[in-house]
Amino acid sequence: MLSINDLSVTYKNNEVLDGFNLELDQGDIFALLGDSGSGKSSALRFIAGLDNANQGRVELDGHQLSTNGKHQVAPELREVGMVFQDYALFPHMNVEKNIAFGIINQSKNEQKIKVDPGSHRHPP
């Protein structure tokens, strides 16, 4: 189950989300709809661990991922994914870690074999 409680997000004195709550059970199909700037992406980015919030809590399968708007579990360890409209990288990771993100649960040797060939294609 995914549970979001009391999520509030403000950007430049503009309150985007105020007390957003959501509960989804395993297998639920859900669409988050709204006007541009209504907070859809902000909510998803907080759930995925990419952005902090003013306040809010996220739990996934009984594990607390975020509380008081701050993250207790890093984005790459959440087993939560997003497909972005435009390309996106984790700003806190270097190039190699961004490339290896999809294979993070494999051994370091398997990751290195898969990452090294692609990380040297475009020399400086």
List of domains in the chain: 2-83 (3.40.50.300), 89-124 (no CATH)
Question: Rounded distance, CA 37 to CA 21, Å?
Answer: 18
Mean pLDDT score, 35-51: 87
CA geometry: angle at 104 spanning 64 and 47, to 5°? 30
Q: What is the pLDDT of residue 98?
A: 76
Question: What is the model's pTM?
Answer: 0.64
Collapsed DSSP state (helix, strand, coil) of residue 118: helix
Amino acid of residue 67: T
Contacts of 30 (CB under 8 A, 6+ apart): 24
Between 110 and 20, the more confident residue is 20
Q: What percent of the chain has pLDDT over 90?
A: 13
Read off the pLDDT band of 48 (50, 70, 90): confident
Amino acid of residue 25: D
What average pLDDT is seen over the chain? 80
CB atoms within 10 A of CB 26: 7
